Structure 1
């Protein structure tokens, strides 16, 4: 009788906790596009949590945070272009982010990531332009000093050591 009561209490507790409804077993995510984590909740659940993606197939398991402080009442979190390598054994965990709620609150079924998002690319034109602008500025300053020196009849840049400063 005691074991039946325990099992029933466990089932009721599980039914009233946050449950991830998407992704589901067998889903395929392309992280270069838009994806959604969806869940159901009740009023006694924590007010917010963090969303973590885990590659269970990696050794050790690879874990990255998708979002922090997500409102439980939202029921859905959309994201796009997230960098995380392809794997067949991926899972979403909702984790507690307060003193009253720590550890894993809910876990999704395993699904597949077919494609990673891409990291933002950096452009080298800005540093190339800055370097070119600095060189042109130095050349202009040196030419102005040389012209002044020619007018005065001596090499002013060499006398003042301007070549060393520029």
Structure 2
């Protein structure tokens, strides 16, 4: 009987934990625009977590970190001008980064990426601007916005041909 009560209590605690509510199933995301990731949370969730865009491609997953230190209490995250190949197999995952609360915390429903953002650069005034060359420009001390630094989220910067090459690679 005690085991059954403990099991029910553990299930109830898990069910009430961090839950990604947006994007919803089959949502259409144009990553060149601003999209909002939303979640519900409880007090026992970690103070911060990592957000990852996951492409569930045939034969595996392709993960791209959106942000490593998202504040749980914010309840939402604005994703602006993010670079990813269009497709219908994406989800957002939340991962705990604390020693006592690590691993996958939540995953969104599967949604569609209809258009990729473009790589961005930061000017000496700190303004984030799209670049057509795909080469990030560095500046002295100016930090890009965490929601607009799409090019560096991939770890590599793509020009206009990058998203096209990714689409052709998916077709092969």
TM-score greater than 0.5 by the shorter chain:
yes
Higher helix share: 1
Distance (whole Å) between structure 1 residues aligned to residue 100 and residue 7 of structure 2: 25
Q: Counterpart in 1 of 2:116? A: 116
Counterpart in 2 of 1:156?
none
Supply the distance in 2 between the matched residues of 1:88 and 1:3 (Cα, whole angstroms).
42
Q: Which residue of 2 aligns with 1:45?
A: 45
Q: Distance in 2 between matches of 1:69 and 1:32?
A: 22
Query: Given the two structures, how large is their TM-score scaled by the length of structure 1?
Result: 0.67
In the alignment, structure 2 segments of 5+ residues that lack a partner are 121-130, 134-172
Tell me how many residue pairs correspond in the alignment.
Answer: 123
Q: Which residue of 2 aligns with 1:71?
A: 71
Q: Compute the displacement of 1:2 (Å).
A: 7.9
Maintained 8 Å contact 1:21/1:40: yes
- Aligned-residue CA RMSD (Å): 2.0
Whole-Å separation in 2 of the counterparts to 1:47 and 1:29: 27
Flag the 1:2–1:57 CA change in 2: closer, same or farther, 3 A: farther
In 2, Cα distance between equivalents of 1:3 and 1:99: 27
String of CA shifts for 1:14-54, please: whole Å, max 9, x gaps: 33200111011111111000001100111111110010010
Structure (1/2) with the larger strand percentage:
2
Aligned to 1:17: 17
Find the residue that maps to 2:102 and give its secondary structure: coil
The answer (yes or no) to whether the contact 1:54–1:92 under 8 Å persists in 2 is yes
TM-score (norm 2): 0.65
1:155 corresponds in structure 2 to: none
Paired with 1:23 and 1:87, the residues of 2 have a C-alpha distance of: 15
